[in-house]
């Protein structure tokens, strides 16, 4: 396991706060309220460990399969439905949405190999990630990857807690399946917008791993 570069600053800040809070607590209250100092130490240590865990990159064997659409993130499948895409395709598509809790790995990965033909950041609201309107009204970053005659739209969507979306892709870039496309800090969701008729390989409420599990076959 390694730590994602997006976490270096956050981990440094919480570690500094952990040290300052506990030094002050033991300095001023140690002799008289030792139990309180120990409780604060444990609580703040657990918070530091949580933040470190949030930015983890676990060691995995990633999936590389030309016919597969792999999961762009860790999480739970919360939507499988036909929708009308109003952003890019302007027609009916299949949407598969994956909810990411704060406990999930938050690296986002390319579902297929191909060329980036669209990359757009959208300002928006911070509705809870499971709200159906979050796909079109929340802050989000949309990317379309084209492989042959197939195009897939991937949306990184902010939620009520997640306030920062990071996306590394630019138009014209060639990307490899399961490689990093970005990061969402502190929980949210990722939508896959696929062609109608795509064979779906997951079911509602199924837990999936980014870059590993096959979401669909194209």
Q: CB neighbours (10 Å) of residue 218?
A: 17
- Are the C-beta atoms of residues 212 and 63 closer than 8 Å to each other? yes
Strands 114-122 and 107-109: unpaired
Q: CB neighbours (10 Å) of residue 189?
A: 29
| Start-to-end C-alpha separation, the chain | 31
Annotation says 10 is catalytic:
no
Active-site choice (101, 142, 188, 203): 188
At residue 1, the 3 state secondary structure works out as coil
- Are the C-beta atoms of residues 19 and 7 closer than 8 Å to each other? no
Q: Catalytic residues, which ones? A: 188
């Amino acid at each position: 396991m390694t730590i994602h570069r997006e976490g270096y600053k956050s981990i440094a800040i919480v570690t500094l706060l952990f040290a300052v809070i506990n030094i002050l607590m033991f300095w001023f209250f140690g002799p008289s309220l030792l139990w309180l100092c120990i409780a604060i130490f444990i609580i703040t240590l657990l918070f530091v460990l949580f933040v470190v865990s949030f930015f983890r990159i676990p060691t995995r064997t990633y999936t590389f399969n030309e016919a597969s659409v792999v999961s762009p993130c860790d999480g739970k499948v919360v939507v499988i439905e036909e929708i009308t895409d109003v952003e890019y395709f302007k027609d009916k598509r299949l949407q598969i949405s994956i909810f990411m809790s704060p406990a999930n790995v938050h690296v986002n990965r390319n579902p297929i190999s191909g060329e980036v033909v669209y990359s757009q950041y959208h300002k928006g609201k911070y509705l809870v990630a499971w709200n159906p309107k979050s796909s079109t009204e929340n802050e989000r970053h949309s990317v379309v990857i084209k492989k042959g005659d197939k195009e897939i739209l991937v949306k990184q969507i902010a939620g009520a807690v997640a306030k920062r979306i990071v996306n590394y892709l630019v138009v014209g870039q060639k990307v490899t399946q399961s490689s990093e496309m970005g990061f969402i800090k502190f929980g949210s969701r990722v939508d896959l917008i696929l062609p109608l008729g795509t064979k779906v390989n997951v079911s509602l409420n199924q837990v999936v791993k980014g870059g590993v599990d096959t979401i669909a076959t194209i």
